[in-house]
Amino acid sequence: MALKIVKGSIDRMFDKNLQDLVRGIRNHKEDEAKYISTCIDEIKQELKQDNIAVKANAVCKLTYLQMLGYDVSWAAFNIVEVMSSSKFTYKRIGYLAASQCFHESTDVIMLTTNQIRKDLSSPNQYDTGVALTGLSCFVTPDLARDLANDIMTLMSHTKPYIRKKAVLIMYKVFLKYPESLRPAFPRLKEKLEDPDPGVQSAAVNVICELARRNPKNYLSLAPLFFKLMTSSTNNWVLIKIIKLFGALTPLEPRLGKKLIEPLTNLIHSTSAMSLLYECVNTVIAVLISLSSGMPNHSASIQLCVQKLRILIEDSDQNLKYLGLLAMSKILKTHPKSVQSHKDLILQCLDDKDESIRLRALDLLYGMVSKKNLMEIVKKLMLHVDKAEGTTYRDELLTKIIDICSQSNYQYITNFEWYISILVELTRLEGTRHGHLIASQMLDVAIRVKAIRAFAVAQMATLLDNAHLLTGNMQRNGICEVSYAAAWICGEFSEHLENPMQTLEAMLRPKVATLPGHIQAVYVQNAAKLFATVLKSQEGNTDSTAAQETSQLMIERLPLFVQSANLEVQERASCILQLVKYIQKLQQKDVEVAEEVSALFAGELNPVAPKAQKKVPVPEGLDLDAWINEPPSESESEDEQPKAIFTKEETKHSRPRHIEVDEKELARRREARKQEQANNPFYIKASPSSQKVYQDTPGVEHIPVVQIDLSVPLKVPGLPMSDQYVKLEEERRQKERAEKKKKEKKKRKEKRSGRGKKHDSGPESEEDITPAHMVDIVTEEMPENALPSDDDDKDPNDPHKALDIDLDNLGEMAGRRPLADSEKLPVRSHRAVEAAKSPGEDGDAETVATQQPKKKSGKDKRDDKKKDKDKERKKSKDEKKKKKHKHEEKEEDLLRGEVHEPVVQSEGISQVAELPTSTSAEVSDLDFWLSNAPVPSNTQVESPPLPLPLISSVNTPLIHSMNYWSVICCFFSRNLSLYCLPMWISDLFFCLVLIFLTLVFFDTASSLKGHITLSSSILQPSSV
Amino acid sequence: MIKAILIFNNHGKPRLSKFYEHYSEDTEQQIIRETFHLVSKRDENVCNFLEGGMLIGGSDYKLIYRHYATLYFVFCVDSSESELGILDLIQVFVETLDKCFENVCELDLIFHVDKVHNILAEMVMGGMVLETNMNEIIMQVDAQNKMEKSEVSWTPPVPCMCMT
């Protein structure tokens, strides 16, 4: 033995430890990868040794390598070995490694269940602590299910250090195993009033995290939190609670009213900026929830805005940022009070910090009015020119469009100006938001009828100069704009001044380099234009012009017929045949223009984006039913979703994804090549055949050098938004002058009538009339559209499973106590032991009531003395386990025996008169909210002692008469409380037994079916 | 919830990485790189909050960082955490490191990353703040180190290589 130890330590002498490894890596800067791979080989050797110290050292080094990006999952089993070491030093190393590299698909995790359970019940608090910390990082659904009960027991551990960790980890357990939430919740709630502030803070933390996702289930805790808020001095806890209230108030406006006062007090009194900021935030949330009416809260708004202004003016950039962030929340409901700080916000736009500029941009959204929109956008356009980074510039672009298009173009008085702004934006080099500009152009042109002529003229110029404006079109998102331009020119071609010229522009060979979906639009709209041109040319007596137009089409369209894009090809060949036919007719001097334009007759109405979704499903149509048999699994795997209809969407999705996709594609391609190279049966392509074919033959083979001009070209004929600004100002002045005249007249009339003074204050927003009366067409929706609008919820959200009604749980109402299936599974090895010693079952029954007493005594002793003798303790552990088993068995037995009488429905009416618990009031939200005074401390302080226990049994009887639930409820309470002073539960047991026997004698067994059913439910849990 | 805690130096070398959600090693490195890229190009004297770490989380998540001498301490948190609170927490973390290592510098973090992990484990657990009181944290860390020492002294002492 001694020899082995000596040998082990000699081995260790020659092993590198973590420090040596780090030093080595630093000394091998140039060939780091090689050095590390030799180190990994050494580590593999070390892991093969028996000495646990060597193994732990190796695992420690692996943890470091994992941080550097090396996959160490191959050592997972060794990590488990180190975790199970009896020495804390090694155990800690093991758990750290596990927390860094274990995850749900690590298969050795299954092996850790018993080890973790052992550590959790270790007498050494740090063993338990380390296990809890590790577990919090790699808990899986299986671990959560198996260990939930153990962790729940730890929540009532004597050491606060363990309690707080156990409380925190429960959140992770809930996430992985949502069924545990209901049974564990009562105890979690108790921890809110734990004497130790750390535990209390942990419980607040967990409940806030739960409540944030499903706030409505936690409303009943509001009184408790309110009490904590008014009594706690820990800023961390306060911040969490105040944040939680912010989430709760939208659901219960009465709560908001109650909160305003203490929160304002806090705002005035606190010196901590973080707390002040959260208070302001929650007050804002309250005000939003109360936004309708309540004029007397304007003082609170003023207070908030005033405090925020102080934050924004602060030299600390962090406070400035947060101030703006909070300001944007007020903006939604109280825009007026924010607008008065416009100067400050515009000032922030010039800040050197990008985060702050972005926040200020958010606020601008609410700053605009009809009056200042042009001015603000002008300022933003200046920023666009100055902006150096593309992300900030893109952000500016989207903000400009957002601001202008908000609430149905409410603030735009001059659409000519807006179109010219859009056209100016197309000159941005390398923006990703081409589609956004395009959709705005389309939207305006379609919905604002009065502007169409102007828009069409602009778009025609854009099409003409497309090659100049957008430079390298293919790479740019900006080419989407030509999609809009082509469509507008085609659809509203009657407004075109020179349709022939536009038609030619659309059929230029260079169009074939555009993406497929844009080409398709070009082709289709060329046909529309063709119809218009024909119509105008046939009007003239000169018939050759019309024939020339047809000839042009016939010459240019074959280019598109050869396109690789299916859509382009199909449209082009259809139209080509059509034009050929028209040409034939023309040669016979037949008038065709009428018929051709009939192809595109009729107005296209705008349709709301969600209209399709809102079409109600006709009665009798089951959309989920299969029309044909579902295809087999293997087929569906091979088939990728076809991108015919999704193409548009991928264009619009964020480019980040595209990039990742491309990378992924490249990676796959690489992998495939590798595979092919290694596959002897794969016929490799000769390098010569790897020519890349262009999509389009002919002219496009000739490489065209594109000139990338960084300076935006000023194209003559394109509008400048500034000129419209000037025009608009002139127009307004004129209007104002006219109005003054009118007012003077009115005043004169009034003076003659009455002496009352007419207030002609500064021009109000409503006074500005739009340049031309604009008829903004609203989008169409299907008849009887469904009003619901809940399509943005993520079905994969893990928090969805935690949306569980907790109000009635363990509380007095008893409407839905724990069902049998909801109970936490107890230790799994119990079944095996039960099989080993069947004789004990009989004992269990007889000793039933004494057993818990003994155990509790032993528990206490265990905790007090730190054991020296390991052997003895082991045996004790075993005994304890057996006793556990007894207890549970006894409960099961009791339940089975007790069940018979309880299913009866008679004889309970007397019991129903029993007094109900007073503590029910505490959780009664309505009661609390209707009572103005702050609840006193005494109200909530009823300890979880006999009285509430009994009432928890009795009140369900009163309310629901559901006896099965009574039993469940009783046992769940009892189970979770066996660490309380045992005489209480003994007393309680006796009471219940007496009560049950009474009922038993009173009734006959009329419901046998019910009994057998329930006992069959019991069986799986008792085996 | 805290989603990740990263410490790296001015050159982007990771000194500690703690992810409270599983990512593959490659993704982790990519996140570290990207975060470094975002954080390092910011001037001193701008705010300590950053949105748009694309890889982690999305719009609900923020990067909150502090820069001390050669090291960046970055916390990636969601909207349930108070921004200023997390800044304080970073300060507590660094002060705790300073007490535990006695004038902490980057070298301490380089050679004793396991100890840094142990200290962090007493502050943040599974992405939730466990303890913010520095004295309490130091007490627990010291107690554990003492335990470790008592275990080491139980085994025959090992001569130290680096002395020779």
> What are the Cα distances from residue A977, in Å, to A35, A179, A206, A980?
57, 20, 21, 6
Does B40 touch chain A if contact means CB atoms closer than 8 Å?
A: no
Touching A: B residues 96-135, CB under 8 Å: 110-114, 117-118, 121, 125-133
Q: Which residues of B touch A321 (CB under 8 A)?
A: 47, 49
Q: Which residues of B touch A63 (CB under 8 A)?
A: 113-114, 117
Measured CA to CA, the distance from residue A437 to residue A480 in angstroms comes to 8
pLDDT tens profile A874-927: 455 555 444 444 444 444 433 433 343 333 334 333 433 334 344 444 446 666
CA A609 to chain centroid, in Å, comes to 22
**Which residue would you say has higher pLDDT here, A734 or A442?**
A442
Q: Which residues of A touch B131 (CB under 8 A)?
A: 164, 198
Please list, residue by residue across A77-94, b when 16 or more beta carbons sit within 10 angstroms of its beta carbon and e when fewer do.
ebbbbbbbbebbbbbbbb
Asked if residue A256 lies in contact with residue A290, where contact means CB atoms within 8 angstroms, the answer is: yes
Q: What is the mean pLDDT of residues A728-748?
A: 68
pLDDT recorded at residue A798: 67
Q: What is the mean pLDDT of residues A957-967?
A: 42
Question: A13, B158: Cβ pair inside 8 Å?
Answer: yes
The model's pTM: 0.62
Query: Which pair of tokens denotes residue A442?
Result: 């389309």
Asked if residue A190 lies in contact with residue A944, where contact means CB atoms within 8 angstroms, the answer is: yes
pLDDT recorded at residue A461: 86
Question: A64, B113: Cβ pair inside 8 Å?
Answer: yes
pLDDT recorded at residue A966: 42
Question: B85, A202: Cβ pair inside 8 Å?
Answer: no
Measured CA to CA, the distance from residue A295 to residue A336 in angstroms comes to 14
Going A97 to A98 to A103 to A107, the CA torsion angle's sign is positive
pLDDT recorded at residue A350: 80
Give chain A's mean pLDDT. 71
Query: Which pair of tokens denotes residue B90?
Result: 């970073």
Burial of A684 (0-12, 13-18, 19+ CB in 10 A): exposed
Q: DSSP letters of A601-655? A: -SPPPPB-TTHHHHSPPPTT--TTS-SSPPPPHHHHHHPPPP-TTTHHHHHHS-H
Burial of A68 (0-12, 13-18, 19+ CB in 10 A): middle
Measured CA to CA, the distance from residue A971 to residue A824 in angstroms comes to 12
pLDDT recorded at residue A944: 38
Of A313, A255, A307, residue with least CA distance to A279: A307
Q: What is the DSSP letter of A220?
A: G
Q: What is the mean pLDDT of residues A203-228?
A: 88
Residue B5, classed as helix, strand or coil, is strand
Q: Residue B18 forms beta bridges with which residues?
A: B5
Q: Please say if the pLDDT value at position A942 is more than 90.
A: no
Cβ count within 10 A of residue A683: 7
Q: Which residues of A touch B42 (CB under 8 A)?
A: 353
Touching A: B residues 56-75, CB under 8 Å: none
Confidence at A383, pLDDT banded by 50, 70, 90: confident
Residue A448, classed as helix, strand or coil, is strand
Asked if residue A777 lies in contact with residue A604, where contact means CB atoms within 8 angstroms, the answer is: no
Q: Which residues of B touch A169 (CB under 8 A)?
A: 125-126
% of chain A exceeding 70 in pLDDT: 61
Query: Which pair of tokens denotes residue A508?
Result: 């230029």
Q: Which of A161, A168, A273 sits opposite B126 (nearest CB)?
A: A168
Q: Which amino acid is at A141?
A: P
Cβ count within 10 A of residue A70: 17
Cβ count within 10 A of residue A442: 18
Q: Which of A5, A278, A321 sits opposite B47 (nearest CB)?
A: A321
pLDDT recorded at residue B128: 92
Q: In degrees rounded to 5, what are phi and psi of residue A363?
A: -75, -35
Measured CA to CA, the distance from residue B73 to residue A712 in angstroms comes to 42
Query: How far does the CA of residue A281 sit from the closest CA of chain B (Å)?
Result: 11
**Which residue would you say has higher pLDDT here, A700 or A124?**
A124
Question: B158, A12: Cβ pair inside 8 Å?
Answer: yes
Asked if residue A236 lies in contact with residue B85, where contact means CB atoms within 8 angstroms, the answer is: yes
> Where is average pLDDT lowest: A83-87, A254-258, A758-762?
A758-762
Going A100 to A104 to A109 to A114, the CA torsion angle's sign is positive
Question: A239, B85: Cβ pair inside 8 Å?
Answer: yes
**Which residue would you say has higher pLDDT here, B141 or A807?**
B141
Query: How far does the CA of residue B130 sit from the closest CA of chain A (Å)?
Result: 7
Query: How far does the CA of residue B25 sit from the closest CA of chain A (Å)?
Result: 5
Q: Please say if the pLDDT value at position A977 is more than 50.
A: no
- Residue of A36, A132, A137 to mutate, testing the B interface (most B Cβ within 10 Å of its Cβ): A137
Could you report how far apart the first and last alpha carbons of chain A are, in Å?
44
Helix (H) or strand (E) holding B74: strand B71-77
Q: Please say if the pLDDT value at position B116 is more than 60.
A: yes
> What are the Cα distances from residue A921, in Å, to A230, A241, A432, A929, A931?
19, 22, 58, 11, 12
Asked if residue A107 lies in contact with residue A78, where contact means CB atoms within 8 angstroms, the answer is: no
Q: Please say if the pLDDT value at position A956 is more than 90.
A: no
Question: A358, B131: Cβ pair inside 8 Å?
Answer: no
Asked if residue B111 lies in contact with residue A18, where contact means CB atoms within 8 angstroms, the answer is: yes
Helix (H) or strand (E) holding A423: helix A415-425
Question: B1, A322: Cβ pair inside 8 Å?
Answer: no
- Residue of A92, A101, A245 to mutate, testing the B interface (most B Cβ within 10 Å of its Cβ): A92
Q: Residue A694 forms beta bridges with which residues?
A: none
Q: Please say if the pLDDT value at position A656 is more than 70.
A: no
Q: Please say if the pLDDT value at position B118 is more than 90.
A: yes
Does B85 touch chain A if contact means CB atoms closer than 8 Å?
A: yes
pLDDT recorded at residue B138: 93
Measured CA to CA, the distance from residue A389 to residue A380 in angstroms comes to 15
Asked if residue B79 lies in contact with residue B60, where contact means CB atoms within 8 angstroms, the answer is: yes
Q: Which residues of A touch B112 (CB under 8 A)?
A: 19
Asked if residue A393 lies in contact with residue A381, where contact means CB atoms within 8 angstroms, the answer is: no
Q: Which residues of B touch A22 (CB under 8 A)?
A: 110-111
pLDDT recorded at residue B14: 92
Query: How far does the CA of residue B160 sit from the closest CA of chain A (Å)?
Result: 7
Question: A9, B158: Cβ pair inside 8 Å?
Answer: yes
pLDDT recorded at residue A372: 81
CA A641 to chain centroid, in Å, comes to 25
pLDDT tens profile A148-187: 999 999 999 999 999 999 999 999 999 999 999 989 999 9
Q: Residue B19 forms beta bridges with which residues?
A: B4
> Where is average pLDDT lowest: A122-131, A237-246, A786-795, B129-138?
A786-795
pLDDT recorded at residue A346: 82
Q: What is the mean pLDDT of residues A51-65?
A: 90
Q: Please say if the pLDDT value at position B51 is more than 80.
A: no
> What Rg do the C-alpha atoms of chain A give, in angstroms?
39
pLDDT tens profile B69-106: 899 999 999 888 888 999 999 999 999 999 999 888 89
Helices (H), A865-1007: 870-902, 920-923, 925-930, 937-940, 946-960, 963-976, 982-1002
Measured CA to CA, the distance from residue A403 to residue A996 in angstroms comes to 71
**Which residue would you say has higher pLDDT here, A908 or A334?**
A334
Place of tokens 């006793």: A883
Please list, residue by residue across A475-489, b when 16 or more beta carbons sit within 10 angstroms of its beta carbon and e when fewer do.
ebbbbbbbbbbbbbb
Instruction: State the number of CA atoms in the 13 A half-sphere of A652 facing the CB.
Output: 11
Of A404, A424, A425, A403, residue with least CA distance to A414: A404
> Where is average pLDDT lowest: A107-121, A202-216, A715-729, B16-30?
A715-729
Asked if residue B162 lies in contact with residue A19, where contact means CB atoms within 8 angstroms, the answer is: yes
pLDDT tens profile A748-780: 555 554 444 444 444 444 445 555 555 566 666
Q: Which residues of A touch B155 (CB under 8 A)?
A: 5, 9, 53
Q: DSSP letters of A818-884? A: --GGGSPP--TTHHHHHHH-TTHHHHHHHHTTTHHHHHHHHHHHHHHSPP--HHHHHHHHHHHHHHH
% of chain A exceeding 90 in pLDDT: 12
pLDDT recorded at residue B57: 63
**Which residue would you say has higher pLDDT here, A675 or A308?**
A308
pLDDT recorded at residue A1020: 37
Question: A103, B22: Cβ pair inside 8 Å?
Answer: yes
Does B38 touch chain A if contact means CB atoms closer than 8 Å?
A: no
pLDDT tens profile A460-491: 888 887 766 555 555 567 778 888 888 998 88
Question: B47, A318: Cβ pair inside 8 Å?
Answer: yes
pLDDT recorded at residue A254: 82
A&B contacts, CB < 8 Å? 160
> Where is average pLDDT lowest: A436-440, A669-673, A802-806, A879-883?
A879-883
Q: Which residues of B touch A205 (CB under 8 A)?
A: 128-129
Measured CA to CA, the distance from residue A715 to residue A266 in angstroms comes to 60
Question: A103, B128: Cβ pair inside 8 Å?
Answer: no
For residue A318, what are the contacts with CB-CB under 8 A and spacing of at least 6?
Answer: B47, B48, B49, B83, B84, B87
Q: Please say if the pLDDT value at position A994 is more than 70.
A: no
Q: What is the mean pLDDT of residues A574-602?
A: 86
pLDDT recorded at residue A653: 39
For residue A381, what are the contacts with CB-CB under 8 A and spacing of at least 6?
Answer: A400, A421, A424, A721
Q: What is the mean pLDDT of residues A583-592?
A: 84
Question: A89, B151: Cβ pair inside 8 Å?
Answer: yes
Q: What is the mean pLDDT of residues A993-999?
A: 63
pLDDT recorded at residue A962: 46
pLDDT recorded at residue A697: 44
- The ipTM estimated for the assembled molecules is 0.92
- From its phi and psi, is residue A912 left (phi > 0), alpha (psi between -120 and 50) or beta? alpha
Measured CA to CA, the distance from residue A318 to residue A356 in angstroms comes to 9
Q: Please say if the pLDDT value at position A262 is more than 80.
A: yes
Q: Please say if the pLDDT value at position A373 is more than 70.
A: yes
Q: Please say if the pLDDT value at position A812 is more than 90.
A: no
Question: B14, A67: Cβ pair inside 8 Å?
Answer: yes
Asked if residue A413 lies in contact with residue A370, where contact means CB atoms within 8 angstroms, the answer is: yes
Question: A209, B45: Cβ pair inside 8 Å?
Answer: no
Q: Which residues of B touch A274 (CB under 8 A)?
A: 82-85, 88
Q: What is the mean pLDDT of residues A428-446?
A: 82
Of A529, A518, A533, residue with least CA distance to A600: A529
CA B18 to chain centroid, in Å, comes to 7
Place of tokens 């005994």: A879
Measured CA to CA, the distance from residue A392 to residue A349 in angstroms comes to 12
